[in-house]
Amino acid sequence: MKTAGSILCATAVCFCTVPVMGWSPAGAIETSTTEVALASADIEARLLAALPKDADVRIMLRDGDGLIHRLKAIAGSPVVTDSQWWDQITSNPELSQARLMLLGVASVAKTDAWSAVGSVLGDRLAVGVNFDDETGEPHYVIASLSDNTEVRDRVMQQVLTFVTGSNELKSNQIVPIGDAFYKSTNDGMIVFSNDRAMIKKSTGRANATPDARLMATVAKQVPADATIWTQVSSSFIERAIESEGNFSAKANEPLQGFLFGDWLHAIDNSRDGLAWLAVDDDSIRLSTVIDSDMPMPETHSGLLSTLSDGPEIWSGSSIEGYAGQMVISRDWAELFSERESLLNVVGAGQAVDFTSTLTSLLGGLDVMDDVLPAINGPINLIVARQNFESLGFKPNPQLPAFAMITPLDMSMTKNLALRLRSGTLSALSVVSLEMANNNQKVYAIQMGKHRGVDIVWSAYPEGDGNEDAGMSMLGPRFNFAPCTAIVDDHFVITTSIDLMKDLIDLQQDKTPSLEVPSAASGELLIESTGLASILQDNKEALIADEMLKKNHSRAQATQNIDLMFTLLDMVQDLTITSTPSESGSVVATAELRFNDDLLQINEDD
């Protein structure tokens, strides 16, 4: 299928339509051109029935023709066409040859290149893949139904005539195309496969019935506006887990078990996996569901807390240099009491060691008994660019500032606020002493107020580093100068005093809270502008790393890093949410939003 693959690949660079030429094929493929006017579910049922019944993976593309025209809009955007990396792609000799071939096929078929590929993708296109148990080689069947069979048949006539030299192709005749095979059925379906036996069994008959449970699941969970959906069988998931050899639903690290224990449980007891992608004018949404045969056990109840449990969540979006935040809701006291169900022996031991060490650092404030039970809402992590100009030094690399915001019920533990202030002062003193013992520059620990809020904060004394070198370049640890405060019953830890002051200002000025899905247990937000500014601070280091690790010239490394910034310019933000359920199933959704309506199609196209 090398020729056909090259033609399809070339659509990525074929961003201009071609003049229409006369069409005078020597013959015509014997296939029905009757309009496919079935309901969407019926079309998908027919296509799924043409796939192997035991397929490891099934994929359904909806409205491939429309998707191709969206890609055309992207390819025609100045953001793409004016970039250096696009010039690299379009100047690739193999792609240029394939593009010319596609243009030739399309023009003889009396259409343009985008419409040619869109007609082959059709109204619905299904893919079924089985992976060989021994070699892992994929054996696939691709089946397509099109509303525009007239254009599609003209295109395929030209492709097959070019490949086979024959113009006497009949319905259900299996035709070799490179390493693959092709056939068209007598009721409008076209089929590709790299396995002759599989394509021979494939049928387009209207009365064929696929997996009824799969169709019911798709109808229930996959929204109508989804562009593509895919299903992974439970047997394939099981084989994949077995091939890893060391997979366990019990994590060997506390962070892994406490953050992803719901996913580990779902995967370990999976029935099947389902994912779908929806494309709008300015965004792409990807959702994934892992169905579990076993409900979430009582020993995992700490994982079922939601983002709506507790006070409003602070939003850092108005902070200068804001790059994103992550909020996660857990019943932390329950999780630590359930640790032996979520973690293996090593992980459970690490969890105990962590709480014991933190208790010692906080001057005896017991984390297990005094702090964890008082947490009454989602923990909030905020990331923002740091400005080192006022500090007189620049670390290498220049990392962002971090903040962790934990809501607390102060009535749960006697004098909790006072003991936290005292404990954090003790912890900073211990850390500074350890730095001194290692002959490192130590923190200058200070206490003060900002807008009436007490702050315990640290800083490197002025002049640290090489005083004669101006903005001297120092090691990574100089990115971090811990600060703590209690703000409106929230215990706040930051790695810079500037970020602490910004957060206090947010609360004092009553900045609107973060809007989150109420049923979700976790959400990650990434703001591309802030992320790009952090990366820009480290551009020279990124270029040097690219040169060192990939043995690239400086010009080539710079071009690759510039490509990364070009792609970031296209993106507005990324949001990822995770939602567990008592049934044991979990759902993750990722939404990528673009700037300037990148995916919007011009009405004149």
Please report, for the chain, the start and end positions of each structural domain, with discontinuous segments joined by +: 6-227, 297-591
Distance of alpha carbon 464 from alpha carbon 478, whole angstroms:
10
User: What's the whole-number mean pLDDT along residues 317-324?
Assistant: 96
Both tokens of 100, joined, read 């010319």
pLDDT at 214: 82
pLDDT top residue among 344 and 23:
344
pLDDT of residue 245: 66
Whether 404 shows a pLDDT value over 50: the answer reads yes
Write down the pLDDT at residue 317. 95
Segment 252-279 mean pLDDT: 90
Residue 200: CB atoms within 10 A of its CB come to 14
**pLDDT range class, residue 316, cuts 50, 70, 90:** very high
Distance, in Å, from the CA atom of 405 to the CA atom of 427, rounded to the nearest integer, reads: 18
Question: pTM surpassing 0.95?
Answer: no
Q: Is the pLDDT of residue 527 over 90?
A: yes
What number is the average pLDDT over the span 45-52? 88
- Burial of 480: CB neighbours in 10 Å, binned 0-12, 13-18, 19+: middle
Task: Please answer whether residues 419 and 361 qualify as being in contact, where contact means their C-beta atoms are separated by less than 8 angstroms.
Answer: no
Q: Check residue 11 and give its pLDDT.
A: 33
pLDDT at residue 521, as a whole number: 94
For 229, residues 6+ apart whose C-beta sits below 8 A from its C-beta are 59, 60, 62, 218, 222, 274, 275, 276, 277
pLDDT at site 31: 40
Find the mean pLDDT for residues 9-18: 32
pLDDT for 296 equals 93
* CA distances, 467 to each of 337, 430, 463, 473, 602 (Å): 51, 27, 5, 11, 58
**Residue 519 pLDDT > 70, yes or no?**
yes
Q: Is the pLDDT of residue 206 over 50?
A: no
pLDDT of residue 602: 45
Give the per-residue pLDDT at 22: 30
- Tell me what pLDDT residue 8 has: 33
Higher pLDDT, 465 or 349: 349
Query: What rounded mean pLDDT belongs to the chain?
Result: 83
**How large is the average pLDDT for residues 267-292?**
89
- Strands 472-474, 393-395: pairing is parallel
Range of lowest pLDDT (57-71, 155-169, 348-362, 387-401) = 155-169
